[in-house]
Chains A and B, each alone.
Chain A
């Protein structure tokens, strides 16, 4: 057993880097399927193969109560946070983003019950390139009552 471990360790210079590449790239394929990761990201070498790049994704955020639904504008300094969340829109990332956006909207005269985040990408018709938005993920987060 020790001899086997020794041989594996000694040969690591041959197998370890490639194994890491395959593991990360395979995980990227999984995340694209299961977590809507943009194919351009995640170390899967999908850049320049799909229109669904982080730059083509965008976020719409709405605060809601029983009567009103209003879109939220976020400040420039949240640009990177929004980019990370739209590139890999997992429930956890969207929840963290929702918390930050809700904090921006709190303290005003209107009491909001929930915040809804929608991540969109852009599709193009092959014939004529007509663009249209396609919903990638939509999540609603209830806000704690004040």
Chain B
């Protein structure tokens, strides 16, 4: 590819003909559905995303995507060190799109970046889960997180078999501590067995799927585990974002996966769209609290 063939200011080609369009559009939808940035950056990011989505000629404009990369990168720097991981990934991805659109064949570099960036994300996640954390492998991380993070309250009760009272009591126990005072022997709490099994299952599943994704996406495409990458990513997003409501991250991963699809992979592209929409439902329908918990509680007798 030659940078000279397309410059930042080149007239954008009509959209719709490039196989990467789905990936680009899903990225823009992510920006619109999960706005990012403070009061100064957000209107600019939203405006650029809306324009690119609505005006096909702007969808392939490298300068627009470079501006998005700059604005999302500025957001990370202004939020330092508080920005979530996917804030960084969003900026890298917008940069990848901009650079790809400057090349002769945008699909090849964009598909490459989609694959390698996703692979590296899960590689570093594996480094932390397998080696960097001293409380992940033994299940302590999920035991504490499911009891202290309010986003998991419904899931903990439904899947962990905890009634509201037990959940409240356990949550209060793990929420109290005294600094500089070591815990007394035997001062711990007995966790219900089903809840413990849930945390082990969550730990084992996440170790497996993170490693599988890292391997599949960093393996040379079209060979060995590389064949499984789309299926693994779709399964990961379907399951993970039903529980962990970090929808922006899920949408971004799906956009990056979709950008790797060839024209022939029609069903795979449809699957990415379907899971993208599924995550919208996950966000809007509190399925654990509103559907499963009332079902498990049974009818109310007056």
- Is B188 in contact with chain A by the CB < 8 A criterion? yes
B182 touches A132 (CB 8 A): yes
**In whole angstroms, what is the CA distance A16 to B3 when docked?**
14
> Which residue from B103, B117, B144, B244 sits with its C-beta under 8 Å from A18?
B117
B103 touches A49 (CB 8 A): no
**A interface secondary structure, majority:** mixed
Chain A residues positioned under 8 Å from B100 (CB to CB):
13
Chain B residues positioned under 8 Å from A10 (CB to CB):
1-3
Chain B residues positioned under 8 Å from A43 (CB to CB):
76, 83, 85, 87-88
**In whole angstroms, what is the CA distance A49 to B132 when docked?**
8
A127 touches B88 (CB 8 A): no
Chain B residues positioned under 8 Å from A32 (CB to CB):
132
- Is B263 in contact with chain A by the CB < 8 A criterion? no
How many residues of chain B get a CB closer than 8 Å to chain A's CBs?
67
Stretch touching chain A among B121-129, B157-165, B273-281, B283-291: B121-129
Interface residues on A, range: 35 or more
| Given A43-B88, A60-B179, A125-B183; A49-B99 close (CB under 8 Å) | no
A129 touches B92 (CB 8 A): no
Most buried by B among A18, A32, A87: A18
**In whole angstroms, what is the CA distance A144 to B191 when docked?**
52
**In whole angstroms, what is the CA distance A21 to B122 when docked?**
12
Q: Which of B173-201 contact A (CB under 8 A)?
A: 173-184, 186-191
Q: Which of A118-146 contact B (CB under 8 A)?
A: 118, 120, 122-133, 135
- Is B135 in contact with chain A by the CB < 8 A criterion? yes
Stretch touching chain A among B9-17, B29-37, B45-53, B108-116: B108-116
A21 touches B120 (CB 8 A): yes
B81 touches A133 (CB 8 A): no
> Which residue from B92, B176, B184 sits with its C-beta under 8 Å from A20?
B92
In whole Å, how far is A138's beta carbon from the nearest beta carbon of chain B? 11
- Is A91 in contact with chain B by the CB < 8 A criterion? no
Chain A residues positioned under 8 Å from B173 (CB to CB):
129, 131
| Given A13-B103, A51-B141; A131-B128 close (CB under 8 Å) | no
B129 touches A49 (CB 8 A): yes
In whole Å, how far is A29's beta carbon from the nearest beta carbon of chain B? 8
Q: Which of A19-35 contact B (CB under 8 A)?
A: 20-22, 24-25, 29, 32
**In whole angstroms, what is the CA distance A125 to B183 when docked?**
8
**In whole angstroms, what is the CA distance A84 to B76 when docked?**
13
Most buried by B among A17, A54, A60: A17
> Which residue from A18, A83, A127 sits with its C-beta under 8 Å from B113?
A18
The 5 closest A-B CB pairs, nearest first, are A128-B188, A133-B179, A130-B183, A13-B99, A131-B177
Chosen A-B contacts, 11 in total, with CB atoms closer than 8 Å, are: A22-B120, A29-B132, A51-B141, A83-B82, A128-B187, A128-B188, A129-B189, A130-B184, A131-B175, A133-B178, A133-B181
